[in-house]
Structure 1
Amino acid sequence: MLRNYFKIAFRNLWRHRVFSFINIMGLTVGMTACFLIFLYVRFELSYDSFHPKADRIYRVVADIKTPTEVLKSNGPAWAVGPHVQLDFPEVEAFTRVHFDNLLFRKGDIKFNEEGVVWADSAFFNIFGFRLLKGDARTALMQPFTVVLSETAAKKYFGKADPMGQTILITSDGLPATVTGVMQDMPENTLIKSQVVLSMSTITLKWAQGLDDQWGDYGPYSFLLLKPGTNAIALQKKFPAFLEKWNGKEMNKIQMYPTLFLEQLKDVYLRSDRESSKGNLMNVYIFSIIAIFILVIACINFINLTTARASERAKEVGIRKVAGAIKAQLARQFIGESLVICLIAFLLTIGLTALLLPSFNELAGKIVSQGILENGQLLLPVFGAAIVIGLLAGIYPAFVLSSFKPIEVLKGRFATGSRGGLLRKTLVISQFAISTALIIGTIIVYSQMRYMRNQQLGFNKDQVMVVDTEREKNSGAFVQAISRLPNVKATSLSASVPGGGHAGAYSEIENIKGDLQIANLDLYFVDFDYIPLYNIQMAAGRPFSREYKTDSNQAIILNEAAVKILGYPSPEQAIGKRFKQWGREGKIIGVMKDFHYHSLQQPIKPLTMRMEWDRFGLVSVKVNPSNIKNTIAAIEKQFKTIIPNRPFSYYFLDEFFDRQYRAEERFGKLFLNFAILAIFISCLGLLGLASYSTIQRTREIGIRKVMGASVSNIINLLSKEFLKLVIISFFIAVPVAWYFMHKWLADFAYRTPISWWIFVTAGIMALLIAIITISFQAFRAAVANPVKSLRTE
């Protein structure tokens, strides 16, 4: 019997090849989109969950309360890690992780390694990064020891064994011994690096006493808690701990930190710190889209199957006359549904494997190396195909098996008002989802355009930034390239807009005449920085070589800093006193606020002053003509003056725009999945149009005989469906507004959700529906009425 079911199912699919292709394609596209989203969501949720001790690893973060604000730090003071392990038996181990960019050399091979990690000796005991060579307990114990990834080891040592060999670090060429080789870190970790250096190099050799430093908030700090430790209970003990070790200093500088524990697995998506690069809202949105697409695919399947019910009616009648019972017919049609879903499953696997490289590129990360990378993932997809086959096949099977043999053999095969209402409801649901996705896509791209077109308050065009890593000859390099014909201006600094900055404990005279304590962002710049970037002054003046005191006794604030000091106007802040990092002097100018971060963050209080030994970035304003030759000339000067370092540069506009790449990728993914959802919805609408046309075959024939034109017939058949699309629009608008309003909340500066967005989406949905319906309606309108009447 089962063999007979499948035999009939395949025969029926082959007889109606076009219908079968559309039906299978709808399911395949829906399941493929859902599977790709599943891979993406699974990857995003998997960050740092691969560590064997992940459940016991916590990151320590700090909220620092000052007289003016509360600062959210990615890590506590340098001293917290070592002292926490001393004071709390609940802590099994600690490690600090500090990211850096360093020059590495081995013979003639030299690279400026970005994202180098400095870590304490327990690093490899806490985390699950696998050492291929070396001892995890001792690899980072001694100063000037380094662990290389497989890739880095091959880069510097080729096929030779790197263990025990020496590699030179920093521009001073300090020797570091290779004590380990680790497997390349996976993509889904916050601590991704090719090189890990011993933290004791810093704390014992370069900055002795750093382990007792309570005022400098620098590295990430991770704790491995002993099994059974209650993290919340431990966190409650931290205030007394800080008071014990740093109470007097906190009261003196009026900066009061509060320590919190974040479980490692939650850091990427759920932390409110700037360092967390994931977006939980995006994960939620894509999960909802995946469910929507799968629902649309199932609805499409039901509509297409019931649209063909009339063609199967006589078959059902004959089978019932021959003795088939309702249960047998239902099993037959559910079996056909399962066959379609299993074929769609096989096609889904092949299509996913084909699209995965492009999807990885679109997502901006290696979500999965291949479809068989994790074979266990295929099982839930197979299960989903079976469930879809059962759920989507139950209603069509029930409808088809319920036909009365006498009526269907006479040609009366209407399925009743309930069936029609269900089909209309399903189409409304499909287009409500599709319209909501259209609205979401328009809003995402409107926000991207808004951020790109927003006035930033400085000029980033044709600015080339060369990283000298604070080489001693940086000044000579600047003087040399300043004489090049296509170089308009140059400047030395420690920061550029869109890049990093220092945070400085500051005391600045406020409107009451008191020295107000604040932790302010700080840019170290030279005399030419403000004019090169065309930063506008709100009051006072920029740095000038005409004033000798500007190099060590002057500071410039932005308008946001002036506001927290209580001054009604920028002019009132000029000449006021300041103390910052051992420097004292006066405010000489107030610059207008400019976006030195992305538009996702509000403009924060910023200060600028000079500190010549901290300059490492050279900003070069170049003539846009003959850029290639200009870069070559600058590189030649660099290699002549700074020969021990590789030439590294970028253009600021491209660098600044990198901050929006995550949102751009989100927008592209959103657009692609919206298009797929609309495509599947159109197939569903086509199915319902086909069903309705068949039901009204006789009516259409009579109307044509009575003189109805083609346009009359198209209007007759389209009017009902357009009503459904309009209803779906009114359902989609509030749903889309709610979710996109939540998404936009992550941006400090965001585009308004204007009425035209909803109108545009409604018109687009209506046009898509009209085009889809018109295809089937036109076929019915131009059909021979004699044939139409003969079918009855």
Structure 2
Amino acid sequence: MLKNYFKIAFRNLWRHRVFSFINIMGLTVGMTACLLIFLYVRFELSYDNFHPKADRIYRMVTDLKTPSETVHPSGPAWAVGPHLQFDLPEVEAFTRVNFDNLLIRKGEIKFNESNSIWADSAFFNIFNFPLLKGDARTALIEPFSLVLSESAAKKYFGKQDPLGQTLLVNAEGKPAIVTGIMKDMPENTLIKCDVILSMSTISQYYWKGINDQWGSYGGLTYVLLKPGSNAQVLQKKFPAFLDKWNGTEMRKIQMFPTLLLEPLKDVYLRSTRDESKGNLKNVYIFSIIALFILAIACINFINLTTARASERAKEVGIRKVAGAVRTQLARQFIGESMVISMIAFLLTLGLSCLLLSSFNQLAGKTISTGIFTNIWLVVLLLGIALIIGMLAGIYPAFVLSSFKPIMVLKGRFATGAKGSFLRKSLVITQFAISTALIIGTIIVYSQMQYMRSQDLGFRKDQVLVIDINESDKRETFQQLVAHIPTVKATTLSGSVPGGGHQGAYSEVENGKGDMQIANLDLYFVDFDYISLYDIKMAAGRPFDRAYKTDSNNAMILNEAAVKMLGYSSPEQAIGKRFKQWQHEGQIIGVIKDFHYHSLQSPIAPLTMRMQWDRFGLLSVKVNPSNVQSTITAIEKQFRTVIPNRPFSYYFMDEFFDRQYRSEERFGRLFLNFAALAIFISCLGLLGLASYSTMQRTREIGIRKVMGASVSNIINLLSKEFLKLVIISFFIAAPVAWYFMHQWLLDFAYRTNISWLVFAAAGTLAVLIALLTISLQAFKAAVANPVKALRTE
């Protein structure tokens, strides 16, 4: 009996090849998209979850309140970590992590290791980054102890054993001993690095006294709590802890930190700090899209299965006359539907394996190395496929099997209004989802275009930025580069737009004449910085070589800083006093606000000063006619003047635009999955249109004989479906507006959602549906009516 059921199932599939292809392909594409999206979502939710002690690891962050504002540095003061265990018994261990760009050399091999960190000795006790060689307990205790990843070790030592070997670090070439080799860190961690240098190197050589610095903020601090400790109870002890160690100084400088604990598992997606690289809203959006696509695929499958059910009414009648009972018929129909869904499931696995590499590239990260590394997702998808098959088989199983065989065999069977209403409702649902995704796609790309087309307040074109990392030969190198014929201008600085900044304790005279305390962003720049980047002056003047005091005793503010200080116009700030990092003097100019961060962030108060020992970057304005030869000439001078450092550069426009990579990836993923949803919807619409046309073959033939034109027939067959698509638009529009409005709230500078977006989306949805339906309608309209009238 079972063999007979399978035989009948495959005969039906082959007899109706077009419907079978549409049914299986729609479900396969839908489940493939769903599986890939869930792999992405799972990966995003897995950041730093692999640490065995993750439930006890917290990142300490700070809200720093000044008389001007509350700022949010990434971590607490440098001194907090070393003092925690004196007063707070809940803390088992701590480690500070500071990201850096270390210069490392071994003979002629030299690299600027951008993925480098400084870390305290408890780093490997807190985090689960296994050492392949070396002792995790002692690897980072001594100064100039160096731990390398497997990849970094091969880069410097090849097949040699690196343990105990020496590498030279930083510009002065201090020898550091390799004390450990760790496995390459996984992709899903925020502490990803290839080189770790012991924090004792800083505290004993580069910055003596850092462990007692309560007013300096820089690195990240992670704490491991003892088992059973309550993070909220510990957090309540922090005010007394800070008051004991630094209360007098806090009140003197009027800067009051509040220490907070962020669970390690929440940092990537839920932290409000700059280091949080993920976007929880995007994860929610993709999860919803995955469910939507799966829902559309299910709707198609169920729709086409139930639509074709009437074709098998006579088969049911004959089988019942032959003695088949209702339960046998129900099992047969459900079984056939599940066979089709299993075929789609197997095709899904194959298609997912083929597309995984391309999907990793589209996502911009290796979210999975193989489908079967996430076996629980495969099992979940198998369960979904079985459920879909069962749901699709229920209608023919329990409806058709209930009809009386005599009525069916006399040709009095009809699917009825209920079946028609169900199919129409499902079509409206799937096209509402598709239309909402079309609206979302247009808004996402409108926002991306808006961000790229905004006036940033500075020029980033044809600017080359070279990393000289505070070399003592910086001025010599700058002069040699400036004499290259294709170089238009040069400037030294500590920061470039989009590349970070210093945070500085500052006292600046405000509109009331008081010295207002604030923690202000600070750019170290030279005389030519403002002119090279074409930053406009709002009042006063830029730095000028004609004024000797500009090198040490002058400051420039932006308009945001002027507003914070309470001045009604930029001119009022000129000549006012300032104190900042042991420097004091007067404000000589105010620049117009420019976007030195992404447009996701508002423009913050910014100060500019000159300090030659802080210059680590050389910006070069080049002639666009022959850029490559210019780079070659610059590199030649670099290797002559700064031979111990690798030549490293980037183009300013590309560098600044990197800030939008995550949004661009989101946009590409959104577009691709929206296109898939529309494609699956069109497959379903094509199948239903084909079925509807087939059911009305004789009607079409009669109408043609009576004089109906091709356009009349196309209009007759299309208008019913177009009504459903229009209804779906009015359902989708308000829902899409709400969710995309919430998404745009993450951007400080954002586009408006115009009515044109909805008009374009609605028009596009109607055109797509019309094209899908018209193809089948036209085929029926031009068919020979004589053949149609002969149809049984």
| Residues 112-511 of structure 1 mapped to structure 2, 5 A cutoff | 112-511=112-511
Superposed CA deviations along residues 296-325 of structure 1, whole A, max 9, x for unmatched, are: 000000111123223222222221222222
User: Once the 2 structures are TM-superposed, how far is the Cα of residue 728 of structure 1 from its aligned partner?
Assistant: 0.2
Q: Is the 8 A contact 1:441 1:667 kept in 2?
A: yes
- What is the match of residue 516 of structure 2? 516
User: 1:419-469 CA distances to partner (integer Å, 9 max, x unpaired)?
Assistant: 111100000000000000000000000000000000000000000000001
Q: What residue number does 1:24 align with?
A: 24
SS at match of 1:626: helix
SS in structure 1 opposite 2:624? coil
Q: Which residue of 1 aligns with 2:64?
A: 64
* 1:21-40 C-alpha deviation (Å, 9 max, x unpaired): 11111011000000000100
Per-residue CA distance 1:545-579 (angstroms, 9 max, x = gap): 00000000000000000000000000000000000
Q: 1:12 to 1:695 in 2, by over 3 A?
A: closer
1:246 and 1:748 map into 2 onto residues whose CA distance is 36
Q: How many residues align?
A: 792
CA distance in 2, matches of 1:395, 1:221: 60
Conserved 8 A contact 1:540-1:588: yes
Unaligned runs of 5+ in 2: none
Question: What letter corresponds to residue 593 of structure 1 in structure 2?
Answer: D
Once the two structures are TM-superposed, the CA of residue 235 in structure 1 deviates from its matched residue by 0.8
* Cα offset, 1:151, TM superposition: 0.4
Structure 1, unpaired ranges of 5+ = none
Q: 2: distance between equivalents of 1:596 and 1:763?
A: 39
Residue type of the alignment partner of 1:102: L
Q: Deviations over 1:493-552 (max 9, x none)?
A: 000001011001000000100000011100000000000000000000000000000000
Partner of 2:754: 754
1:529 lines up with 2:529 in the alignment: yes
Deviations 1:385-427 (A, max 9, x none): 2122122332343344344433333334321111111100000
**Equivalences for 1:639-678 in 2 at 5 Å?**
639-678=639-678
Cα distance in structure 2, aligned partners of 1:702 and 1:11: 32
**Aligned partners of 1:125, 1:274: CA distance in 2, in Å?**
26
Structure-1 separation of matches of 2:434 and 2:425 = 14
Asked whether the 8 Å contact 1:729–1:762 carries over to 2, the reply is yes
1:202 Cα deviation after fit:
0.6
Task: Check 1:343–1:296 CA distance in 2 against 1; reply closer, same or farther (3 A cut).
Answer: same
**Residue pair 1:60, 1:262 contacting (<8 A) in 2 also:** yes
Query: How far apart are 1:340 and its partner, in Å?
Result: 1.0
Which deviations, in whole Å up to 9, do the C-alpha atoms of 1:72-116 show, x marking residues without a partner? Answer: 121101111111122111111100000000100011111010021
Aligned to 2:585: 585
Q: Tell me which amino acid in the other structure corresponds to 1:230.
A: N
Give the conservation status (yes or no) of the 8 Å contact 1:302–1:396. Answer: no
Deviations 1:568-601 (A, max 9, x none): 0000000000000010000000000000001000
Deviation at 1:330, TM superposition (A): 1.9
Opposite residue 390 of structure 2, the aligned amino acid is: L
**Mapped contact 2:302–2:391 kept (Cα < 8 A):** no
CA distance in 2, matches of 1:530, 1:402: 83
Q: State how far apart, in whole Å, the 1-side matches of 2:604 and 2:502 are.
A: 13
Confirm or deny: 8 A CA contact 2:465 2:651 kept in the other structure. Answer: yes
Deviation of the 1:780 alpha carbon? 2.3
Letter in structure 2 aligned against 1:360: N
Q: Which amino acid aligns with 1:672?
A: N
Per-residue CA deviation, residues 330-374 of structure 1 (Å, 9 max, x unaligned), is 211111111111111111111111111110000000000122333
Assess if the C-alpha contact under 8 Å between 2:35 and 2:377 holds in 1. no
Q: Deviations over 1:103-155 (max 9, x none)?
A: 00011111010021110000001000011011111000111001100000000
1:13 matched residue in structure 2: 13
Please give the alpha-carbon distance, in whole angstroms, between the structure 2 residues aligned to 1:18 and 1:427: 19
Q: Which letter maps to 1:595?
A: H
Give distance in 1, aligned partners of 2:234 and 2:167: 41
Describe the SS at the equivalent of 2:248: helix
Q: Distance in 1 between matches of 2:542 and 2:110?
A: 39
Partners of 2:538 and 2:655 lie apart in 1 by 27
CA contact (8 A) 1:307 1:690 kept: no
Q: After TM superposition, which residue ranges in structure 1, 4 or more long, deviate above 4 angstroms?
A: none
Aligned letter for 2:641?
I
Q: Following the alignment from structure 1 to structure 2, what is the Cα–Cα distance between the partners of residues 395 and 49? A: 44
Following the alignment from structure 1 to structure 2, what is the Cα–Cα distance between the partners of residues 758 and 633?
Answer: 53
Q: Does 1:559 align with 2:573?
A: no
Q: Equivalent residue of 1:557, what SS?
A: strand
The secondary structure found in structure 2 opposite 1:75 is: coil
Aligned partners of 1:414 and 1:695 also within 8 Å: no
Please give the alpha-carbon distance, in whole angstroms, between the structure 2 residues aligned to 1:377 and 1:749: 38
Deviation, structure 1 residue 244: 1.1
Q: Deviations over 1:656-681 (max 9, x none)?
A: 01000100000000000001100110
2:541 is the alignment partner of 1:541? yes
Alignment-mate amino acid for residue 124 of structure 2: F
Q: Distance in 1 between matches of 2:426 and 2:403?
A: 22
Instruction: Compute the RMSD of aligned alpha carbons.
Output: 1.2
Does the 8 Å contact 1:553/1:585 carry over to 2?
Answer: yes
Tell me the distance in 1 between the aligned counterparts of 2:207 and 2:427.
68
Q: Distance in 1 between matches of 2:392 and 2:185?
A: 43
Equivalent-residue separation in structure 2 for 1:312 and 1:545 (angstroms): 92
| Residues 305 and 392, structure 2, Cα contact 8 Å, conserved in 1 | no
User: Which residue of structure 2 aligns with residue 607 of structure 1?
Assistant: 607
**Secondary structure in structure 2 of the residue aligned to 1:273:** coil
Compare 770-779 and 45-54 and name the one that shifted more: 770-779
Q: Distance in 2 between matches of 1:603 and 1:402?
A: 70
Give deviations 1:47-73, integer Å, cap 9, x for gaps: 000001111100000011111111112
The amino acid across from 2:533 in the alignment is Y
Distance in 1, matches of 2:672 and 2:402, equals 40
Q: State the distance in 2 between where 1:374 and 1:34 align.
A: 14
2:110–2:646 Cα contact (<8 Å) kept: yes
**Which deviates the most, 393-402 or 110-119?**
393-402
- More moved, 770-779 vs 50-59: 770-779
* Range 268-277 or range 690-699, more displaced: 690-699
SS in 2 for 1:548: coil
SS in 2 for 1:372: helix
